[in-house]
Amino acid sequence: MFLLVNRIANPVLRWLLRSPAHGLLSRRLLLLEVRGMRSGRWFTFPVQFGRDGDAFVVVPGYAAKKRWWRNLRVPSPVGYWHLGERGEGTGVVVTEADLKARSLAAYAAGRRRSSKSLDPAEAVVVRIEPRPRG
């Protein structure tokens, strides 16, 4: 299943989220660019997000099977595409309990899945703080 998504769906979503046709996809999907700590290579993939003020909140599904978020255990530069525009910021895995709970609530807002179904003790939560444009 992951292979199918990575090889077929992700390239299509990458193209759409960068294009003027991003439309409704940009309401829930963000194109995230993360640098690998060992390789130094940039990886780009679509992720679902929520908003907490200016910050984007990402909760990787099946986090144990994914590696990208591990590059953000320390605050690190990231790039992203949102609403058809590229931005830069800092991404970090949230470990502080109160911020993690607030971030999970923000992520779950407006979704069918309530924040109660996201266990703060087990969920991986990534916050992306955008850099001011200017």
CATH code, 19 = 2.30.110.10
Task: Round to whole Å and give the CA distance between 57 and 100.
Answer: 10
Instruction: Show pLDDT as tens, one digit a residue, over the chain (134 residues).
Output: 555 556 777 776 776 677 776 676 667 889 999 999 889 999 998 999 999 999 999 999 888 888 899 999 999 999 999 988 899 999 999 999 999 999 999 998 867 655 556 777 889 999 999 998 76
**pTM of the prediction?**
0.82
The count of structural domains within the chain is 1
16 in Cβ contact with 30 (< 8 Å):
no
pLDDT at 118: 74
For residue 108, give its domain range.
2-130
pLDDT at 5: 58
pLDDT at 87: 95
Task: Round to whole Å and give the CA distance between 39 and 29.
Answer: 26
Strands (E), the chain: 29-35, 42-48, 50-52, 55-58, 76-82, 85-93, 126-130
pLDDT at 121: 80
pLDDT at 104: 92
- Output the CA torsion sign for 8, 109, 131, 36: negative
34 in Cβ contact with 43 (< 8 Å):
yes
Task: Round to whole Å and give the CA distance between 66 and 82.
Answer: 22
Task: Round to whole Å and give the CA distance between 49 and 78.
Answer: 15
pLDDT at 22: 65
